[in-house]
């Protein structure tokens, strides 16, 4: 009997085994930047001539005074050099059991003086999960991420994707949520150091994504996601998102929206249409509403933020003979009435942008020229970039770039002028890839006498090595 079972197992063994294999990528990159921040300076209020809250020093510097206390302003701080070294290990492995794979991406960050954002987050797992995938379903367990109509989230938990009803796909997921874009629990030090009212309990996330497709013409998607405190005493967020899209002969229509069930508000809604036109032209239009979403552990949502409605148009033209692509367009947005403050202050309540871009590519040579003007509530900027170089293929390229821009802030005096040049490139030798770049920027300021012009240098260097091979079929059953 044992011999029969053994023989049966031997016969069945090839059917359940798949190819083994792994791929891994190790990379180290370092960045070095010169920075010059602002420092806060002050004089006794009595030492500053004039009256009122806003006064001027002899050189024209505007200071803000508190009666009987001090007058403050923000001059340039010292020049500093800061650096960051990032180490990444990305690995996928197929143990030889059909449909089973393991994927992980670990990252270490080491920064100088804790200056660089998140450089005190020494080791993090962007994802680390085991996946079992067959034609009808896929199960994942571990740290994983999700991109859907609500954006990008990651969590520690499990997800089950059911494809048995194709073209309908149902993906249910849940687990301990992570602070968005931090790859760490909400109770971690990153949030604690950034906000006094950071959450004191982890979050539990549950959600479902449903996606349907009709032939290759139309798709629809719906997402529900709820995030509660681990002690179930309160909600962090509860949102839904949905969208439909259709495509016909290269013309496309997309409509989508996401809705905050807690505040009863649409955070983002968009309708977009794009279509090719005769003679190499293509055009598109989009209407969009945007209002920021804030999680319920913050008070920001209760401050009644208002959104804006935006209309965007663009036109592109392709001229294959010259290997040229031109694009231009613009957008205009208007904010809702804020119902706050005084009208006489006259803050901007609308904005616009215009952009143009040309890209040329031929035989590996490329050039990209762009200009963009942006004005609106909060800030304005005008500037252009030029980037040109040669792509030798197989991961080898070199490029030079130049940029110039002028920036204004609505709420802060003065303007910043930036002009710079730089080079960067990559060289691949087998599975080893080296990347590097250097740039020099001249920053000058007008309207802020005590903010000094200066020259900034930046450099980055990286090395990446790949090893291993995927098993035949690209890894895992589908």
Query: What pairing do the DSSP bridges indicate for beta strands 218-229 and 235-248?
Result: antiparallel
Q: Which residue number, 174 or 305, has a Cβ lying nearer to other proteins?
A: 305
Least CB distance to other proteins at residue 353 (A):
7
User: In this chain, which of 195, 431, 446, 453 binds other proteins, going by CB under 8 A?
Assistant: 195
CA atoms in the 13 A half-sphere facing the CB of 395: 14
Q: What burial letters (b/e) apply to 360-372, b meaning 16+ CB within 10 Å?
A: beeeeebebbbbe
Q: Which residue number, 97 or 194, has a Cβ lying nearer to other proteins?
A: 194
Query: By CB under 8 A, which span of 7-15, 94-102, 158-166, 439-447 interacts with other proteins?
Result: 439-447
> By CB under 8 A, how many residues form the interface with other proteins?
170
Other CB atoms within 10 A of residue 30 CB:
16
Q: Which residue number, 71 or 175, has a Cβ lying nearer to other proteins?
A: 71
Q: Is 167 in the site for other proteins (CB under 8 A)?
A: no
Contact 366, 388 (CB under 8 A): yes
Q: Which residue number, 8 or 338, has a Cβ lying nearer to other proteins?
A: 338
Q: Which of residues 95-154 bind other proteins (CB under 8 A)?
A: 103, 105, 107, 109, 114-118, 126-127, 145, 147-149, 151-152
- Tell me the C-alpha to C-alpha distance, in Å, between residue 87 and each of 27, 29, 113: 6, 7, 18
Q: Is 187 in the site for other proteins (CB under 8 A)?
A: no
Q: Is 156 in the site for other proteins (CB under 8 A)?
A: no
* Sheet containing 70-73: order of strands: 41-44, 70-73, 62-65, 54-56
Least CB distance to other proteins at residue 153 (A):
10
Other CB atoms within 10 A of residue 167 CB:
11
Query: What pairing do the DSSP bridges indicate for beta strands 281-290 and 308-319?
Result: antiparallel
Closest C-alpha among 119, 133, 216, 118 to residue 167: 216
Q: Which residue number, 174 or 242, has a Cβ lying nearer to other proteins?
A: 242
Least CB distance to other proteins at residue 12 (A):
27
Q: Which residue number, 2 or 343, has a Cβ lying nearer to other proteins?
A: 343
Q: Is 180 in the site for other proteins (CB under 8 A)?
A: yes
Site string for other proteins, 291-330 (x = CB under 8 A): -xxx-xxxxxxxxxxx-x-----x-x-x-xx-xxx-x---
**Phi, then psi, of 341 in degrees rounded to 5:** 75, -170
Q: Which residue number, 21 or 243, has a Cβ lying nearer to other proteins?
A: 243
Least CB distance to other proteins at residue 79 (A):
12
User: In this chain, which of 18, 21, 48, 63 binds other proteins, going by CB under 8 A?
Assistant: 63
- Tell me the C-alpha to C-alpha distance, in Å, between residue 291 and each of 130, 294, 306, 309, 421: 37, 10, 6, 9, 36
Q: Is 335 in the site for other proteins (CB under 8 A)?
A: yes
Least CB distance to other proteins at residue 123 (A):
14
User: In this chain, which of 9, 166, 197, 429 binds other proteins, going by CB under 8 A?
Assistant: 197
Contact 73, 52 (CB under 8 A): no
User: In this chain, which of 108, 284, 330, 425 binds other proteins, going by CB under 8 A?
Assistant: 284
Contacts of 390 (CB under 8 A, 6+ apart): 364, 365, 366, 397, 398, 399
Q: Which residue number, 20 or 147, has a Cβ lying nearer to other proteins?
A: 147
- Tell me the C-alpha to C-alpha distance, in Å, between residue 404 and each of 75, 399, 416, 421: 23, 17, 11, 9
Least CB distance to other proteins at residue 386 (A):
10
Q: Is 339 in the site for other proteins (CB under 8 A)?
A: yes
Q: Which residue number, 164 or 292, has a Cβ lying nearer to other proteins?
A: 292
Q: Which of residues 19-48 bind other proteins (CB under 8 A)?
A: 31, 35, 37-40
| d(C-alpha 8, C-alpha 14), whole Å | 11
| d(C-alpha 157, C-alpha 138), whole Å | 14
Closest C-alpha among 28, 5, 174 to residue 90: 28
Query: By CB under 8 A, which span of 9-17, 159-167, 229-237, 463-471 interacts with other proteins?
Result: 229-237
Query: By CB under 8 A, which span of 1-9, 15-23, 160-168, 289-297 interacts with other proteins?
Result: 289-297
Q: Which residue number, 190 or 204, has a Cβ lying nearer to other proteins?
A: 190
User: In this chain, which of 5, 49, 216, 430 binds other proteins, going by CB under 8 A?
Assistant: 216
Q: Which residue number, 175 or 448, has a Cβ lying nearer to other proteins?
A: 448
Three-class SS state of 149: coil
């Amino acid at each position: 009997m044992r011999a029969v079972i053994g023989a049966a197992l031997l016969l069945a063994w090839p059917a359940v085994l798949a190819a083994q294999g792994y791929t891994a990528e190790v990379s180290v990159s370092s960045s070095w930047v010169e920075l010059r921040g602002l420092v806060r300076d002050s004089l006794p209020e009595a030492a500053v001539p004039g009256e009122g809250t806003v006064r001027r020093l002899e050189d024209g510097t505007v200071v803000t005074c508190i009666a009987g206390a001090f007058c403050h302003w923000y001059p340039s701080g010292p020049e500093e050099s800061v650096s960051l070294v990032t180490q990444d290990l990305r690995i996928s492995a197929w143990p030889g059991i059909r449909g089973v794979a393991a994927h992980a991406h670990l990252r270490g960050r080491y920064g100088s003086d804790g200056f660089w954002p998140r450089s005190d987050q020494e080791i993090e797992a962007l994802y680390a999960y085991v996946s079992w995938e067959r034609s009808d379903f896929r199960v994942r367990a571990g740290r994983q991420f999700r991109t859907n109509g609500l954006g990008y989230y990651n969590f520690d938990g499990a997800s089950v994707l059911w494809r048995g009803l194709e073209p309908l796909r149902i993906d249910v997921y849940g687990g301990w949520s992570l602070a968005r874009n931090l790859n760490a629990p909400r109770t971690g030090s990153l949030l604690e150091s950034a906000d006094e009212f950071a959450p004191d309990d982890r979050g539990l996330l549950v959600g479902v994504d449903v996606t349907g497709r009709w032939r290759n013409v139309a798709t629809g998607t719906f997402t529900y996601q709820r995030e509660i405190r681990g002690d179930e005493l309160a909600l962090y967020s509860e949102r839904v998102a949905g969208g439909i899209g259709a495509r016909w002969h290269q013309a496309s229509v997309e409509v989508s929206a996401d809705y905050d069930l807690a505040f009863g508000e649409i955070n983002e809604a968009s309708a977009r249409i794009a279509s090719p036109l005769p003679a190499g032209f293509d055009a598109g239009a989009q209407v969009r509403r945007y209002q920021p979403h804030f999680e319920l552990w913050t008070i920001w949502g209760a401050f009644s933020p208002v959104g804006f409605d935006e209309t965007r148009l663009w036109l592109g033209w392709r001229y294959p003979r010259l290997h040229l692509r031109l694009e231009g367009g613009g957008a205009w947005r208007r904010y809702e009435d804020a119902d706050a403050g005084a009208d006489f202050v006259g803050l901007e309540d609308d904005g616009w942008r215009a952009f143009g871009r040309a890209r040329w590519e031929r035989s590996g040579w490329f050039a990209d020229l762009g200009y963009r003007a942006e004005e609106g509530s909060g800030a304005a900027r005008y500037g252009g970039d030029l980037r040109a170089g040669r792509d030798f293929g197989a991961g080898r390229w070199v490029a030079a770039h130049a940029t110039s821009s002028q920036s204004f802030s609505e709420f802060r005096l003065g303007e910043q002028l930036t002009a710079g040049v730089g080079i960067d490139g990559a060289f691949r030798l087998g599975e080893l890839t080296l990347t590097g770049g250097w740039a020099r920027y001249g920053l000058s300021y007008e309207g802020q006498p005590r903010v000094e012009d200066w020259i900034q240098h930046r450099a980055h260097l990286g090395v990446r090595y790949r090893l291993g091979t995927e098993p035949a079929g690209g890894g895992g059953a589908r």
